[in-house]
Structure 1
Amino acid sequence: MFTLRQHGFHLSLLVVFALTWGWSAWQPLHPDDWLLENYLVFAALPVILISTHAFPLSKVSYTLITLFMCLHLVGSHYTYAEVPFGFTLQEWIGAERNMYDRLVHFSFGLLLAYPVREILVRMAGLHGFWAYFFPVDMTFALSSIYEIIEWLAARTVSPELGIAYLGSQGDIWDAQKDMLLAGLGSIVAMLVVLALNRWRSANALGDIRNSLSVPAHD
């Protein structure tokens, strides 16, 4: 039975997401690109909401997922190549392009590797080294799948809209760099999780060593 006490935290995240989505939908810089960027949001949100009953995740995972989706909505409002904060990042690091899309791809790994790890640990029973390796592996895989989806979507729309959607800004290696940043973000996330687990339990490193050995009865 639904109670505010049980689901108040989840409702607060949903409100944050809804407000961000409403802002992003209000007079976006390029409405056609906004719609294209939001197709995955429209597909992902029902899955997340339905799964909260069948397979609820931790509050940490839902917070990280919400934060990533909000970052994506900001990109959809302006297009990734024209987000104002991206130009600020460009000035800070002396880059030759708007860096917001690089930030979001890095955040894809940084913020979503933990929810992926939680799912793998609970459903596949992963432990030790494999509970850190496979979230990184999955992040690289999901990032490459997203780049393929971007390519296919860009092919089906007008050239101008496709260029805005890809956000490559003339970089022929844009997709590869995006995948690399997503992977690096996931590695950072898993190192943080490892450090926290090491702090909480002295057996964390021993569990990693044990997971790399072949059982004697195998």
Structure 2
Amino acid sequence: MKPEKPSIKSSWGRSETMSGISNIIEIINAKTAEKEKEIIEEAERQKKLKLEEARRKADETASSITKKAELQATSELAKYQASAKLKGKYKMLESKDAIITEVLSATQEKIESIVGKADYKKILTRLIVDASMALKEDKLDLVLPKGHEKYLDIAEIESLVAKERGKKTKFTISKETIRSKGGVKIRTLDGTRWVDNTFESRLVRFENKARDTIASILFGDVDKE
């Protein structure tokens, strides 16, 4: 029995089927390649965007750090300048105060040097008259440094006070003495009221005014400091 020959129609059908499958595979491969290309391109684009964003943020951070450093440096410089200015002002004030104190000290020495001279009697008399006008008493006690009673003329003082006050005032020299370079303490007989016109007390009372006056003379208007 002879073997059957393959059917031409059947062989052609298989060939046609294989060709169709091959075409489908090629289409799939083409689509896949195209998709891969799109994915790669998108990935590259995203990568580029991320890099640009990273660079931008890095630039912003660097700029922020630079600005912060500049602001800090400016602030530190301003603080230093303010501190230097303040220290300079303090130094100037210290120098002025030292000069004023020196002038006050020289003034005190000059006042104390008057004791024993002709002008001292006039100064004592005026100090007593002024205090008497403030106390307004008919009898007053005078307390002096030891040995200074010799510079007083009680009759002359009583006459001057009566003339200025319009009323007589009797003065007595206390047996007590006061520790002072010069001047006098005037008090009521009961000791409840007094005016301390010793040189030291007057300098203390008028020190602030004296300082302002000296400062104004030496350095100009003190209010413009």
TM-score with structure 2 setting the length:
0.23
TM-score by length of structure 1 reads: 0.24
Higher strand residue share:
2
- Whichever of the two has the greater Rg, that structure is 2
Greater share of helix: 1
Instruction: Report 1 or 2 for greater relative contact order, CA contacts < 8 Å, sequence distance ≥ 6.
Output: 1
